[in-house]
Amino acid sequence: MVFMYSMKNGCTYTLDPENGEDLMYAPILSDGSAQSALVAYDFVEWESFDVFNDRETLEEAARCHRLLLTDR
């Protein structure tokens, strides 16, 4: 499983191991490390982003998703 840190969004991202496509996230831990247990990750709910207020967060999540998909 590949993890990607996003300091901009304050979380780590990974792909769903079952389908290898859906983006999942978990907050970066207080010591700067990432969760390695899949149960700590939630699916990114793209439709919950407000395009006007969350534009930078959305763009960063999409960038990380593209990079993870490329790295499969």
Listed by start position, the domains of the chain span 4-70
Q: What is the pLDDT of residue 36?
A: 87
**Residue 15 DSSP one-character state:** E
The residue among 20, 21, 22, 23 whose CA lies nearest residue 12 is 23
- What burial letters (b/e) apply to 4-21, b meaning 16+ CB within 10 Å? bebeebebbbbbeeeeee
Give the pLDDT confidence of 13-65 residue by residue, as tens digits: 999 999 999 999 999 999 999 988 999 999 999 998 887 888 999 999 999 99
